[in-house]
Structure 1
Amino acid sequence: MSIRNPTSKSRETGSADTRDFPSWFSRVQRLSMVRTTPIPVMDNPPDTILTKGLGLSYVSVFNEGIDYSVGDNLTPAREAIFQATIRVTGVDEIGRITSVAVQKPGCYESSSSELLDVTGGTGSGARFTASYNAGVASAIYNGKTTQRQDETAFDYLGYDIQDNTSGSGYRGNGVQNGTQCQIAWVSDAPYLELRLIGGNYQGDLYVNGARISAEAIKTDTSGSPYLYAVDWAGVSDIREYRLCGINTGFGGINTELQYSIWTPDENHKPIIWIMGDSYTVGIGATQGSFNYFRIMCDALGAIGLADGISGAGWTSIQPDRIPQQRVEMKLGSITRQPNFVFFAMGYNDANAGHIELLKTNFRASVKKVRELCPLAQIVNIGPATPLGKASVLTAIREAEMELCEELAIPYIDIDDWVNQYNKQMYTGSDNTHPTDAGHAFIGIREAKTISKII
């Protein structure tokens, strides 16, 4: 039996909640909207490039040259990721340059103390001294930055969103930034530059609900600014974006002046928050969008926010890992309350033998969810069986099923979905975590199972 959905008693007496699941789930089922495969990379994705470098922030005239004209655009004669543009703003009667301005900062791997030669324009012989700054790098001519704090532009889904490095100008979770944060916006720009920072960020960008790349966005830990450029080859269209990742440091978006960014209308989409372990982190998947929980939410048409901690379980005793404390930290500071709260733990409790502690923490977590998110429906997903049934996992499963019956929580039983016969297809070489195929197998089956609960 895949679903246990007790309905006989009231929640206030410690038993079933007689409320149906929202009509959203039944609507998904009726219209056969649940996907049977993970969302693929879109057929015509934009060109993307992730860069780290310095922009040209200021130039001053060293040699005036001759025969230049106001309005000339000059290009630095040095190797670049994106070339800068220097615009001539003043000349004398014989075309010697008297003033210039940086119109496009460009992006360079390093600064240089050498005089800057240039090409282009109507004249010759001009040279400049130059200053570089990582914070201004851009390939956009005379562009603008929509700032990270702009609530009319960006919708954050995370925990106590704030600037996460003093003075850095980058935003992310204020509570455990190593857990997931999502940023959504809409734009008509044909070219955007997402401003990120090197803090071990790992994320994926969705556009109109589809993945735009088979490779995750990953930064180093240097603290240096990054640009993630998204180029639609000059085609302006209204597109909805969602950036999903961990260790988030988001600094806003660069666009050309004539284009806009605004917040999407996401009130019609249900939010699922999940507390889980390394499966929920996505260990074994080659990128975050191959994670079983993301696949499940994509299949259901929901927005999912994952709180996964590797090695965590119902019997965790380390600070910030005790389940009811995780619930309080995260749901107590979440930017929008979820419609559904999922629990997906148990595998890491199998060898502890502390069933009573599991029960205590499970009950306390349910109580805390119902205090913080009284309208949310709680669902419990049973422990995984990466190599098939095992007596210790069976004991955890039975304890969770008993608790779900007591507390009126639907139980999604994934026992033996992955088993001794199919483990080579779905479990990785560590004999614990799913492969990409395993994450997809679990995520799609969970979506189909959950969609039947009404």
Structure 2
Amino acid sequence: MEVALANVMPIMAAPPTTSLNKGSGISTVGVSAAGTGYVVGDMITLAAGTYTTAGVVEVSGIGAGGSITSAFVITPGVYQANPTNPVAQSSTTGVGTGATFTLGFNAGVMSTCANAVYWQRAVSNGTYRYTGYSIGDVTSGYLGSVANNGVATLVEWESDEAHFDIKLTGNNSLYMLFIRVNGQWQRISSAGFSTDASGAPYLLTVDWAGVFQPRSYKLVGVNTAFGGIYTNSTGSVWYPGEPRKPLALIFGDSYTYGTDASSPAAANCCIAYAALGLEVLANGIGGSGWNTTGSNAALTRVQSILSTLQVSTPQGTAVPIVPQYVQLDLGYNDAGSSMTTLSSTMVACVQAIQAAWPTTRIWVMGPATPLGTTTNLSLVRTAVMAVAAQFNFPFVDVLNFVTSANHGRYTSASDNTHPNGDAGNEYLAGRKAPLIASIL
């Protein structure tokens, strides 16, 4: 089955213009030199310092000769280096001259929108549909999964705005933004985007060149830290109206996470399930296996998922959600470890899932073979296949998908472990999808 990322998650033919920036915005404005010739309502652009969007202030009071007595901020702007006070106008909508201003700056207020309306992040507002783990603030002012934030969290909304800012913060995050086109989620670009770990605010600005119409959006993130959305004064943001497709939760390692893919949303499991018309929530932690101990131990992870997986509602609450499907996709990292521990841990995880989610269908994926099968990987395959048989679960066998003969096409030469970017993930998705389809 040919499963091309370009077909399953195509890049939009006419995407919006987007830019990701961090900096600060104008928070206060005082009149330093009043100038002459101004009228109330004049818009004055302050293009000084280093900026990606210059701030704009509006004249609100005048004195003799059109001198400015007061002004207020219309567009805070995005400044990477704040200008030195006093700041002179660079342009105006009127004919006034000579005014300068004393500006205050705050990273928390930066925006490219005029008379911005802030659509807050809080679950209680019922504006966004979040799917994640113990949904709440992961840092002050920014929301994600309080538990398991290092795996995928979904944020969905609808908006009719032609220009808006998505508030994010530096949380070592990875994102991909999707827009629904003719019923299909499409990517805005070939690669995702990321933030640093500084804790500094970011803005992802989305611009449709003045075309206002309702659109559906989905932000897929790892280490998600979402602060809400700014629109212009006439725009709106609301909870998505289209029902979600059946949900598949993938419990795995770096193959599930999407290491070396263009974004976590381009991991092979995400591509395969999208091709089958399902929503996917990838819970992948690199280096993990059934033998892992500590905070990433398999049973610890499963128990956390079972107790924290939530979806937010338009009524402003976060409620437990039960996926229709669970794919168990650990094993590669157990090669050379105890098969006894693998089996007992896997059984304990299955029993926990069945007790909490008795209606969920479960199946087992065989271990990856990035350089071809080995003696140790064969032992893993036999062990996970035996647990699948014990519970009468389907077993999806990936043996010989990647071999000693073809690994140069599909496995990264830099680590000899992970798929070689999107090409390797597309290949694996194409091999896995028909096998998964046969058991749905």
Instruction: Establish whether TM, by shorter chain, passes 0.5.
Output: yes
Indicate the SS of the match to 1:128.
strand
Q: Is 1:294 matched up with 2:260?
A: no
Within 5 Å, give how 1:107-126 maps onto structure 2: 107-118=78-89, 119-120=91-92, 121-126=94-99
Within 5 Å, give how 1:31-50 maps onto structure 2: 36-38=3-5, 39-50=9-20
Indicate the SS of the match to 1:69.
coil
Structure 2 gap segments, 5+ residues each: 311-320
**Partners of 2:278 and 2:241 in 1: how far apart?**
14
Within 5 Å, give how 1:97-116 maps onto structure 2: 97-116=68-87
Residue 35 of structure 1, CA deviation: 7.0
**Partners of 1:382 and 1:147 in 2: how far apart?**
43
**Partners of 1:114 and 1:265 in 2: how far apart?**
47
Alignment length (residue pairs): 417
Identity %: 38
Within 5 Å, give how 1:158-177 maps onto structure 2: 158-165=132-139, 168-177=140-149
Residue 155 of structure 1, aligned match among 129, 134, 139: 129
Residue 173 of structure 2, aligned match among 169, 180, 201: 201
**Partners of 1:108 and 1:310 in 2: how far apart?**
37
Partner AA of 1:84 in structure 2: G
Distance 1:158 1:42, change over 3 A: same
> 1:389 — aligned with what?
373
Partner AA of 1:101 in structure 2: F
> 2:111 — aligned with what?
138
**Partners of 1:404 and 1:383 in 2: how far apart?**
13
Q: Is 1:310 matched up with 2:286?
A: yes
Residue 247 of structure 1, CA deviation: 1.0
**Partners of 1:190 and 1:112 in 2: how far apart?**
29
Mapped contact 1:35–1:299 kept (Cα < 8 A): no
Partner AA of 1:100 in structure 2: A
**Partners of 2:128 and 2:263 in 1: how far apart?**
24
Mapped contact 1:59–1:128 kept (Cα < 8 A): yes
Distance 1:139 1:220, change over 3 A: same
> 1:62 — aligned with what?
32
Partner AA of 1:348 in structure 2: N
> 1:348 — aligned with what?
333
Task: Give CA-to-partner distance per residue, 1:343-398, whole Å, 9 cap, x none.
Answer: 1011111111x111111101100011112222211111110111112121111111
Residue 325 of structure 1, aligned match among 300, 308, 312: 300
Residue 228 of structure 2, aligned match among 228, 252, 263: 252
**Partners of 1:406 and 1:137 in 2: how far apart?**
57
Mapped contact 2:47–2:55 kept (Cα < 8 A): no
Q: TM-score, normalised by structure 1?
A: 0.89
Indicate the SS of the match to 1:164.
strand
**Partners of 2:375 and 2:206 in 1: how far apart?**
50
Residue 442 of structure 1, aligned match among 418, 428, 433: 428
4+ long deviations beyond 3 Å: 265-268
Residue 259 of structure 1, CA deviation: 1.7
Partner AA of 2:362 in structure 1: I
Q: TM-score, normalised by structure 2?
A: 0.92
Q: CA RMSD in A?
A: 1.4
Residue 153 of structure 1, CA deviation: 1.4
Indicate the SS of the match to 1:348.
helix
Task: Give CA-to-partner distance per residue, 1:28-52, whole Å, 9 cap, x none.
Answer: xxxxxx9721122111111110000
> 2:317 — aligned with what?
none
Higher relative contact order (CA 8 A, sep 6+): 1
Partner AA of 1:417 in structure 2: F
